[in-house]
């Protein structure tokens, strides 16, 4: 048995409208304060089999030649790619965030790409994740008049995702088992 959730482009725009703006801290070390600030989305596009492309103004605090300036970006293209990852504790839905295109004024393109590559490496370690196996696995107690059945265990078997130009589709497969006293 499985459940399918269809999240349309309009749904994603509404969710993203609540999520943005956001500042993503890129370091665990308090001594270095590097971050990426994503402003309100100016354009949202679903990219088939890849994810959600978001255009937005941004700011970046990053070390360049020993100096840590805050760099304003009029427009940044970010790709948010959901993926299902199997972990020991169950399946998780992880969101990869990757800078696709940035034009940092006054900085040569070679350095632009070097900074983007370094920021993407930092973002790879900061993926928001949802352990949907833990969230959706549950045991429901049943009335005592159903002897010898005590309850119903609902467990997650697997999850998948599909992305089209119109929607993000999440599919979760469940396995059901009755708990018995005999």
Q: Give me 104's structure tokens.
A: 């940092």
**Residue whose C-alpha is closest to residue 161's, from 38, 51, 15:** 51
pLDDT in tens, 60-94: 998 766 777 888 888 899 999 999 999 998 999 99
Residue 144, helix vs strand vs coil = coil
Backbone angles phi, psi at 20, to 5 degrees: -95, 145
- The model scores a pTM over 0.75: yes
pLDDT in tens, 121-160: 999 999 999 999 999 999 999 999 999 999 999 999 999 9
């Amino acid at each position: 048995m499985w459940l399918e959730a269809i999240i349309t482009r309009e749904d994603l725009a509404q969710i993203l409208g609540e999520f943005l703006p956001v500042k993503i801290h890129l370091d665990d070390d308090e001594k270095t304060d590097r971050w990426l600030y994503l402003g309100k989305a100016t354009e949202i596009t679903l990219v088939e089999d890849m994810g959600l492309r978001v255009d937005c103004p941004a700011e970046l605090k990053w070390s360049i030649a020993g100096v840590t300036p805050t760099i304003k970006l009029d427009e940044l293209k970010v790709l948010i790619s959901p993926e299902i990852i199997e972990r020991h504790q169950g399946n998780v839905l992880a969101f990869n965030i990757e800078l696709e295109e940035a034009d940092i004024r006054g900085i040569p393109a070679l350095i632009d790409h070097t900074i983007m590559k370094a920021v993407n490496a930092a973002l790879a370690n900061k993926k928001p994740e949802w352990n949907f196996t833990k969230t959706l696995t549950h045991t429901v107690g049943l009335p005592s008049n159903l002897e010898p059945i005590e309850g119903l265990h609902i467990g997650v078997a697997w999850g998948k995702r599909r992305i089209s130009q119109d929607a993000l589709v999440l599919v979760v497969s469940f396995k059901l088992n009755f708990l018995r006293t005999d």
